[in-house]
Amino acid sequence: MKKAFCIVVAVSIAAAAFCEEKPASRFARTRELVARHSASTATVLVRFNAPEDEDDDGFSLPYMCPNCNSMHRRGVSEYVKEERPMDLAGYVVAPDRVMVQDLMIKSNLVASVEVEFAGRRYAAKPVRRFPGKGAVELKTEKPIDGVKPIEFRAKGPVPLAEAKFFFLVKEKGQMVSGLTPSPAAKFRHYPDIGKDIVQVPGNTLVLDAKGEAASLCFSSPMVVDEAAFAAPSTWKSEPVGEFDARLEALKAKVRASLVPVYVHRDEEKRSERGGRIFVSSDGDDERKTDLDLVGFALENGEVMIPLNLDASKTAEIDKIEAVMPDGSRTALEWVGAFDRYALAVVRFKDGKLPKEFAPMKVHGENAAKLFLKTLYTCSTRSMDGKITFDMIPERVTEFEFARGGAVCPDVRQNSSRGRQPFAVTEDGEFTVGVFRRRSGERWSSGEVLPAESVAALLKKRAFNPEYALRKGKDRIRVAWIGVETQPITPDLAREKKASGFLMAYSTRGALVGRVYPGTPAEKAGIKTGDVLLYVRRRGENDRQDLEAGGSLGSGIDIGELLSRIDGERLGMVDADRFAPWPNVEEGVNEVFTRFGIGTEVDVGYVTGGAKKEAHLVLAQAPVHFRNSKRLKSKTLGAAFADLTFEVRGYFKLADDAPGVVVSKVQPGNPAAVAGLMPFEIVTHVDDKPVKNVKELSEAIRGKQEFSLSVRRLAATRIVRVKASPKTGD
């Protein structure tokens, strides 16, 4: 939504003569002005070189549309591929001088410039820039034949009250048109910058009440001051080369604040968990083992990186490194990650930023003060630790509302092909970025985040404590309220009188099948048969749907399944991916974990046909199958896991019953030869009970032959195992 920004007064200055003038008279006056000045206008044709990166569409140019008299954009690459020039309105101020709109691009992107007048073309080159006016002066190779240079009035700037006539050169061929004089000139006062702004057409010749040329206008809107409608000879100019030098200097300054970052993942953990980690800018990185990111160097040795995380995906990360300019790598320490935005913070050792990098400041002033100033929109990405980086100047003429009501400059942000988009001020301060935002379990493709919001996030440092790098048994933590849930069918929804609530809250819901004693759910009064609807952080309105999850193997007869698996396909059955018992990490617990253990939440649910809310604190789920202790036995060619609460519940085992669960069996190895299968329970070794994988390891260590007591559902049997002479269990 665009914002009509800070308008406090609109003043109409009308000339009585024009108010009384008849339409026919005004039209005749306009035609006379067109005839008088048409010989002073020309068409400027600009041809471009292709950007260094042929696929790069980041270089887009604004142009005044001749049909709707508003600004549009078109990529440089499009002009190059179509082999056609960009045509602009040109105003002749001397026989060999033409004023034209400043495209604000580096000189190396311009292949040629020509001025066309009366069917003839003249090669031209830029000689001066007018930064405050958005204009460039061109010098043609020779004087233009038949042209009539504009003679500006010698009386100085024309007052706003007299600047009644605007003259537009349409940017297609030599078409020339006049704008019918308006009966009033309107302007708006912007208190944030303390200036009056007038909306005038861009690329126009400004005339006074007598039809004499007073000024040129190449940008809209424009500031109304004493020099607003002054002749170009009074404008402040600079050599053309200064623009390129200034752009390169700013680019180097911003580039020094960008840090190539490698995020290394444990491939084994990643494959076992089946999860994926995401970066903010490129979906292709979801399939990579290591992630290549661009971070923003901050003060205190910290680096802000665009990284989408949750508790399970953080568990995949082994280490994070920064790539130094010489190609070497240095480890970065984890600081924290935000749970709603794809932003994480890491830091260099001892909190000291290496001299090779410079901190990027976050713009601290009111965004409103950036109105009509130039921002530099950037797009960057890292490829094997090498950063590619583009920067394009853009004048701020509009604002939009960001989330939370913050005002944000409306500038173009290019996030295609893995780029991380952001914008900086002329001083190199971060002012606008695009980052993914989480809504429930989904991430947006990108949301504008102004400097005000980024600064607030960094200052508050409200990191989700669950999004942290952990090792060993603490690697995977799950937040829960202590319930098992199942999907709710239409029949069950009607039986539980929850159909209307499911529709009203647009959720499939989760039917509570079990409430564990002593848990937050039991203490809050949630019972078996209730239907969970949503959860929200205490004091906030942003609800997250609660829907039941399930494992791939849920609802399948494991005995029948295993009886059909032959030896060659045995290795495909992995309990981590195909377990019949409830997956503690998925479903409603996945949503709870995003909030974090210890978070105060409100859970909406239906009980007895009435909707209620439970106020509770999320607890840490007990050790469960996916983070249980494991044994990978080389002598047996099989993997085992401790019996956890949900596994015992599935097999209806007492809490003190001995046993370990078989999680995987490799074909052709001793365990497979002996007939051992996944999901079976090993209770004894040589008639000695084993309560966990540690006891199993000790019981088989050094033995070449032994017997195992095995239970499959309610059936038990004894298998004889001849172990491989391998060691290392």
**Letter for the amino acid at 614?**
A
Amino acid at site 216: L
3-state secondary structure of 78: helix
Q: Rounded distance, CA 298 to CA 288, Å?
A: 27
Domains, the chain, with CATH or none? 1-236 (2.40.10.10), 240-472 (2.40.10.120), 477-549+586-620 (2.30.42.10), 628-722 (2.30.42.10)
pLDDT of residue 503: 94
User: What letter represents residue 572's amino acid?
Assistant: M
Q: What is the mean pLDDT of each run of 10 residues along the chain (729 residues)?
A: 34 34 69 82 89 56 61 76 87 96 86 92 95 93 95 78 65 53 62 80 79 84 76 91 91 95 71 38 48 91 86 77 93 89 91 93 87 89 86 85 81 74 93 81 76 90 81 76 93 94 93 95 96 92 84 56 61 73 88 87 96 95 89 90 92 93 90 88 95 94 92 86 67
- Cβ neighbourhood burial of 263 (10 Å; 0-12, 13-18, 19+): buried
Long-range contacts of 79-82 (CB under 8 A, 24+ apart): 79/47, 79/48, 80/48, 80/49, 80/50
3-state helix, strand, coil in the chain (%, to 5): 20, 35, 40
Measured CA to CA, the distance from residue 677 to residue 570 in angstroms comes to 8
- Which DSSP state fits 654? -
- How far apart, in whole angstroms, are the C-alpha atoms of residue 504 and residue 350? 52
Q: What is the pLDDT of residue 447?
A: 83
Selection from 286, 289, 270 nearest residue 278 by Cα: 286
Closest C-alpha to 599, from 587, 608, 591, 607:
591
Residue 337 has which token pair?
A: 């990650």
Q: Please name which of 262, 447, 250 lies closest in space to residue 338, comparing C-alpha atoms.
A: 447
The Cα 671–Cα 723 span in angstroms is: 8
Distance between CA atoms of residues 504 and 186, nearest Å: 49
Which of 396, 305, 317, 301 has the alpha carbon at shortest distance from 358?
A: 301
Strands (E), 385-459: 386-395, 399-401, 407-409, 420-424, 430-435, 438-439, 442-443, 447-450
Terminal C-alpha separation, the chain: 63
Q: Which residues pair with 375 in a beta bridge?
A: 394
Cα angle 323-329-334, degrees, rounded to a multiple of 5? 85
CB 475 within 8 A of CB 315: yes
- Here the tokens at position 467 are 């999004």
Tell me what pLDDT residue 168 has. Answer: 61
**Three-state SS annotation for 359-405:** CCCECCCCHHHHCCCEEEEEEEEEECCEEEEEEEEEECCCEEECHHH
Element (H, E) at 480: strand 479-480
What's the pLDDT at 4? 36
133: alpha, beta or left? (left if phi > 0; alpha if psi -120 to 50)? alpha
Contact residues for 149 (Cβ-Cβ < 8 A; gap 6+): 40, 92, 93, 94, 95, 97
Token digits of residue 164 = 């009644």
- Cβ neighbours around 100 below 10 Å, total: 24
Q: Hey, how many other C-beta atoms are within 10 angstroms of the C-beta on 416?
A: 13
Tokens of 474: 């603490």
CA distances for 612 relative to 213, 271, 457, 518, angstroms = 73, 40, 33, 20
Q: Which long-range contacts (CB under 8 A, 24 or more apart) does 700-703 make?
A: 700/633, 700/635, 700/636, 700/729, 701/729
> What is the C-alpha to C-alpha distance for residues 354 and 302, in angstroms, rounded to an integer?
11
Whole-angstrom Cα distance, residue 100 to residue 102? 6
CA-wise closest residue to 507 among 473, 481, 531, 471: 531
Q: In 3-state terms, what secondary structure has residue 252?
A: helix
The set of residues, in sequence order, having a beta carbon less than 8 Å from that of 598 and lying 6+ positions away, is 465, 617, 618
What does the block give as tokens for 652? 């209806």
SS3 state of residue 653 = coil
What pLDDT, on a 0 to 100 scale, did the predictor assign at position 137? 97
Between CA 464 and CA 632 the distance in angstroms is 33
| CA-closest candidate to residue 87, choices 109, 107, 57, 117 | 117
Give the Cβ contact number of residue 614 at 10 Å: 20
